[in-house]
Amino acid sequence: MPTQEAPAIAKPHYQEVEHEKLHDAAERGQAATDEHGQSLVQLDPKAEARLRWKLDLYLLPSVALLYLFCFIDRANIGNARLAGFEKDLGLIGYDYNTVLSIFYVSYIILEIPSNILCKWMGPGWFIPASSLGFGLCSIFTALVHNKAQACAVRFFLGAFETGLLPGIAYYLSRWYRRSELAFRLAMYLVMAPLAGAFGGLLASAILKLPHFGGFTTWRMIFAIEGVVTVGLSIISFFTITDRPSTARWLSQDERDLCIARIKSERVGTTTLLDKMDKKKMLRGIKNPMTISTAIIFLFVNITVQGLAFFTPTVVQTIYPHKSVISQQLYTVPPYIVGAFFTVVFPLLSWRIDRRQIIIAASAPLGMAGYIMFLASTNPRVRYGATFLITSSVFALGPMVNSQVSANVVTDSARSSAIGFTVMLGNIGGLISTWSFLPFDAPNFHIGNGLNLATTTMVLIVSSIMLAWMIRDNRKRDSCNVEEQLSGLSPEDIEDLDWKHPGFRWRP
């Protein structure tokens, strides 16, 4: 079993004894930390940097492209609305909001079950299969002719999409350290604002086509984007590797290093991927940081999903005399700015290994944007406000999910914690579908007032929890770890998860 006197792994070509110690920490059911959470193995930073770069090249492109088209397939209904979706289907009054809402019924109900299924199947199969399902649903949307058919397709779209965001977050947590995860989540969640930008550009280009097969106007948007998604999902069956131990593109030394460095941050953990365990899964859901962060994500999603569904509509009210294609193009720049900050904030998080303070600090930007919407009817002011909002809220997706992952220990707890967080976030998405109502146009005081309230709550809840984490860590510092663990088996210790006396909250 490794000890604190283990020699540092300082060269790319390890000595035989160093190989053995690293392999012990990685594969032989031994803990890689002491009872205080201190790592028992010393890892070469240069070897880690090389491994991290290799992981980035192999893992991120596939999941990023899938999430890009996941968000496009969900939000392209906003672009289709401008191109005649409502008129052709005979939607009146609140019918459009109803069609949006039905998506979230399955999306919310199936969130935790789908993340459990992801762990059971393995992300290498679950993520591509889910992507294939929602790609087909997008194609089927091009075939609908009335409200009932549109609602049915949107229901199944939600069922297939529900597991992708938490599934990818859970998947990447198998490969990356706590401090590294937020930036890697940003590399795929940045596809949400890019989907808004690219979706507008793509919709504009598609609408210039005379037809696509037998499809015309808005039907082409769903058909073409769905076909691309199906193609990407089929490729991903071959490109997404389930776990470090099965990665053929890593050497045995790299697989051992990948596993050992993750275990070295998880106090009391003897295996990287434990079996599904009800007690651990409940630990993940009942974790105070999981609950508070999930509430934050609920507030965040009211804004993020509202932007996805209603930005084209809001832009149309700002520039009512522009052509449909011009209105589509006006939605692009705010999303580009949002994408920039979606990467910058998590990059800062990686460098300082902090997330909670960044979550709190980003909220005032969104608050300022909605104050501008409420205070002015000037088109330039209102359009400028969209840039402040997107620069704030899109970055919170990777920050929130990485914060949940950083504050649980076992793989089972992480799976349920991320699933619960995204489930509550989806409730925010459901609320967002009713945030911008027809009678409230063109200034949308209700929708903008609601979003000002939610961004304010993000600031309040995250600040309170930051103070609580610091206070609780001080309490844990004063406890006797050895005394509290006395008489417990290794399995009992692992089941403690965040209740382990050596565990510390990661702000």
What is the pTM (predicted TM-score) of this model?
0.75
The string of pLDDT tens digits covering residues 365-388 is 999 999 998 998 888 888 888 899
Tell me, yes or no, whether 488 lies in a domain: no
Unique residue bearing structure tokens 């031994």: 30
CA 355 to chain centre: 14
Give the mean pLDDT of 129-136. 94
In a domain, 487, yes or no: no
Domain range enclosing 206: 44-254+277-477
Find the CATH number of the domain harbouring 454.
1.20.1250.20
Phi/psi zone of residue 444: left (φ > 0), alpha (ψ -120 to 50 degrees), beta?
left
Q: Are 349 and 368 in contact (CB under 8 A)?
A: no
Indicate whether 331 and 357 sit together in one domain: yes
pLDDT in tens, 168-218: 988 998 899 888 888 888 887 787 777 766 777 777 788 787 777 777 788
Phi, psi of 491 (to 5 degrees): -70, -40
Count of the separate structural domains present in the chain: 2
340 domain residue, yes or no: yes
Q: Is 507 within the bounds of a domain? A: no
Q: Are residues 34 and 70 in the same domain?
A: no
The tokens describing 398, both together, are 């990777």
Q: Is the peptide bond before 398 cis (omega within 30 degrees of 0)?
A: no
Residue 91 lies in a domain: yes
Comparing 131-145, 186-200, 244-258, 382-396, the range with the smallest average pLDDT is: 186-200
503 within some domain:
no
* 103-121 confidence digits (pLDDT tens): 888 988 888 888 888 888 8
Statement to judge: residues 13 and 111 lie in one domain: no
Q: Is residue 270 part of a domain?
A: no
Indicate whether 137 pLDDT > 60: yes
- 328 and 465 assigned to the same domain: yes
pLDDT band at 77, cuts 50/70/90? confident
Same domain, yes or no, for 21 and 127? no
- Same-domain status, 82 and 208: yes
Instruction: Note whether residue 109 is domain-resident.
Output: yes
Q: Are 237 and 199 part of one and the same domain?
A: yes
Q: What backbone torsions phi and psi does residue 269 show, to the nearest 5 degrees?
A: -90, 130
Do 16 and 111 fall into the same domain? Answer: no
**Of 273, 274, 287, the residue nearest 498 (C-alpha):** 287
Say if residue 25 is in the same domain as residue 54: no
pLDDT mean over 318-326:
77
Average predicted confidence (pLDDT) for the chain? 82
Asked if residue 26 has pLDDT above 60, the reply is no
Same domain, 24 and 116: no
Residue 149 and residue 221 share a domain: yes
CA distances from 194 to 70, 101, 208, 269, 407 (A): 12, 23, 21, 38, 29
27 and 142 housed in the same domain: no
